[in-house]
Amino acid sequence: MPGFELFGDLERKHVNDVLESGVLMRYGFDGMRNGHWKAVELEKAISERMQVKHTQLVSSGTSALTIALASAGIGAGDEVIMPTFTFVASFESIIALGAVPVLVDIDDTLTLDPEKVEEAITPKTKVVMPVHMCGSMAQLKELKAICEQHDLLLLEDACQAIGGSYDGKPLGSYGDLGCFSFDYVKTITCGEGGAIITNNETYATHADHYSDHGHDHVGKDRGAETHPFLGYNFRISELNAAVGLAQISRLDDFLAIQKKNYTILREALIDIQGVTMRRVPDEGEENYSFLTFFLPDEETARNTHKALGKNGVDGCFYWFDNNWHYVKKWDHLKNKTSLGKLPEEVLNGLPDYHSKDFSQSDYWLGRAVCVLIKLGWTEEETKARATKIKEVVQSVKSITLG
């Protein structure tokens, strides 16, 4: 990760196909295309790789989440359960529809704690949205059982975990709907882009229409298409889709490289006393884009992260202090700060997140250090990096803990 590290001839070929045709829009202009329909081809490729019936390409992972929710009829006042550790896009997509994000604690998987999810359900709850952060997944079997018991939608935010699997199914395909991001720093990239996957024909049709101003896409005359319901412009371009079409064909190669590099780093740390690894559910296999480990306490974790940076180990994250990925720094959400007036359902429905107790999430994320796994490292570079990380971790532990 990320896929841009290995851009090559295949990406250039698909992009040049689009440039030579001159048709950058995914819809229409049939006679000018020279047979190139990159978005359509990419949707078919994603459906095949993810073992689902339907894929809808859109402009970003954020728009994918918004469209997925809208396609299932989620709207004003509906509650969507999501984790305290994610990217801000998760709650942005919910609020965009006038729905209410209900933040719930994480556990040692660094994803939703199923017990806390059950406690958070109210008569207004409509969706449970686990976020498969940093390449690994939530406890989907337990969450699906909760959803079935309470008649809730299970929406997988797999934007950071494409290529991982759970119970033999690709991540994103286990729930009712799944979403991916193909932005510039994802495992496979379109530059900008996203996708919704589902086996539900109704949701797929809704996503297709909603993402293109409500166009029903019936016939070949775009101007004659009808609009069954309101929609917006969340279209992907043919140029972006062209890059993604090359990258999806290389996904398994990327995953193999990530797993090899991940394993070298993990083996260097696994036997250090006081260091434990993030728990991956027994049924799952992560996509190996990040290695995440726990230190004995928050001070040791924070000092380790600082020491790694000072010693030239880039690509390391201490999410607990991050502005974008943890509830602790989401003051704009807590204060309900918006350029325009928020819907009454959001204003009245949002809990007081200033006073909400997320000590369980603090406990786990406060002790976690996360290391990005790059595709471009040589084996020699990866081994040298593993040795350096091990030395830093051991040094900080001995100083901090005595």
The reply to whether 259 and 176 lie within a common domain is: no
pLDDT of the residue at 1 = 80
Residue 399's pLDDT band, with cuts at 50, 70 and 90, is low
User: Is there a contact between 147 and 174 (Cβ–Cβ < 8 Å)?
Assistant: no
The reply to whether 72 and 150 lie within a common domain is: yes
The reply to whether 163 and 39 lie within a common domain is: yes
Average pLDDT of 49-71?
98
**CATH number reported for the structural domain that contains residue 185 in this entry:** 3.40.640.10
Active site residues: 186
User: Is there a contact between 164 and 171 (Cβ–Cβ < 8 Å)?
Assistant: yes
Cα 40 to the center of its chain, rounded Å: 22
CA–CA separation, 287 and 266 (whole Å): 14
User: How many domains does the structure of the chain reveal?
Assistant: 2
CA–CA separation, 14 and 290 (whole Å): 29
The reply to whether 235 and 274 lie within a common domain is: no
**CATH number reported for the structural domain that contains residue 293 in this entry:** 3.90.1150.10
400, pLDDT greater than 60: no
The reply to whether 159 and 34 lie within a common domain is: yes
The reply to whether 259 and 270 lie within a common domain is: yes
CA–CA separation, 135 and 288 (whole Å): 6
* pTM value > 0.95: yes
Cβ-Cβ contacts under 8 Å for 96 (sequence gap 6 or more): 66
Cβ-Cβ contacts under 8 Å for 383 (sequence gap 6 or more): 264
DSSP H helical segments within 215-297, as ranges?
238-248, 251-269
pLDDT > 70 in the chain, percent: 99
Residue linked to tokens 């079997």: 141
Eight-state DSSP code of residue 327: G
The reply to whether 134 and 27 lie within a common domain is: yes
Average pLDDT of 104-125?
98
Q: 228-237: per-residue pLDDT in tens?
A: 999 999 999 9
CA–CA separation, 276 and 401 (whole Å): 16
- Out of 250, 278, 309, a domain closes at 250
User: Is there a contact between 8 and 253 (Cβ–Cβ < 8 Å)?
Assistant: no
The reply to whether 243 and 332 lie within a common domain is: no
Domain limits for position 170:
3-250
- Out of 217, 250, 283, a domain closes at 250
Q: 150-163: per-residue pLDDT in tens?
A: 999 999 999 999 99
Q: How many residues does the chain have?
A: 402
Classify each residue of 186-201 as buried b or exposed e, where b means 16 or more C-beta atoms within 10 Å of its C-beta: bbbbbbbbbbbbbebe
pLDDT of the residue at 23 = 98
Name residue 192's amino acid.
E
339, pLDDT greater than 90: yes
- Spatial CA neighbour of 396 closest among 264, 296, 282: 296
The reply to whether 57 and 69 lie within a common domain is: yes
CA–CA separation, 180 and 48 (whole Å): 15
Average pLDDT of 32-45?
97
- Spatial CA neighbour of 6 closest among 235, 194, 318, 252: 252
Q: Is 196 helix (H, G, I), strand (E, B) or coil?
A: strand
pLDDT of the residue at 397 = 74
- Spatial CA neighbour of 327 closest among 104, 178, 57: 104
CA–CA separation, 90 and 158 (whole Å): 11
- Spatial CA neighbour of 113 closest among 66, 135, 81: 81
Lookup: tokens for 191: 């530059």
- Spatial CA neighbour of 156 closest among 323, 318, 147: 147
Element (H, E) at 141: helix 140-150
pLDDT of the residue at 285 = 98
CA–CA separation, 169 and 174 (whole Å): 6
pLDDT > 90 in the chain, percent: 98
Classify each residue of 30-66 as buried b or exposed e, where b means 16 or more C-beta atoms within 10 Å of its C-beta: eeebeebbbbbbbbebbbebbebebbbbbbbbbbbbb
User: Is there a contact between 130 and 106 (Cβ–Cβ < 8 Å)?
Assistant: no
Average pLDDT of 322-343?
97
Average pLDDT of 253-272?
97
Query: Between 114 and 220, whose confidence is greater?
Result: 114
* φ and ψ of 121, to 5 deg: -70, 135
Q: 167-223: per-residue pLDDT in tens?
A: 999 999 999 999 999 999 999 999 999 999 999 999 999 999 999 999 999 998 999
The reply to whether 256 and 242 lie within a common domain is: no
pLDDT of the residue at 228 = 96
The pLDDT mean for the chain works out to 97
Report strand pairing: 153-157 vs 125-128.
parallel
The reply to whether 240 and 322 lie within a common domain is: no
The reply to whether 76 and 185 lie within a common domain is: yes
pLDDT of the residue at 36 = 97
- Out of 206, 232, 250, a domain closes at 250
